[in-house]
Amino acid sequence: MVDSVRFRLRTSCCISVSLAIRLQLLLSVSWEDWWTYEGISGPAFWGLINPEWSMCNRGRRQSPINIEPSQLLFDPNLRPLHIDKNAVAGYLSNMGQGLIFTVDNSSKPSINLTGGPLSYKYEWHQMALHFGLNNQSGSEHMIAGRAFPAELQVFGFNTQLYSTYSEALESPHGIVALSVLIQIGDASLQTTEFRLLMEHITKIERPGLLQPGQERPMPALSLKMLLPPTDYYITYEGSATTPACQETSTWIVFNRPLYITEQQLYALRGLKRGSPNPNHNQIKSSSFSSPSLSVTGDPMGNNYRPIQPTHHRPVRTNIDFTSSERGEKACATMHRDMHYRGEFSFEIAKTFFAVFFSSRTHSVHK
Catalytic residues: 162
Q: Phi first, then psi: what are they for 266, rounded to 5°? A: -60, -40
> To the nearest 5 percent, what fractions of the chain are helix, strand and coil?
25, 25, 50
| Helix, coil or strand: residue 17 | helix
- Three-state DSSP at 132 gives coil
- Other Cβ atoms closer than 10 A to 255: 23
Number of other residues whose CB lies within 10 A of the CB of residue 107: 15
CA distances 214 to 130, 132, 270, 282, 352, Å, are 18, 22, 16, 8, 41
* 84 burial level (CB within 10 Å; 0-12, 13-18, 19+): middle
Separation CA 234–CA 168 (nearest Å): 22
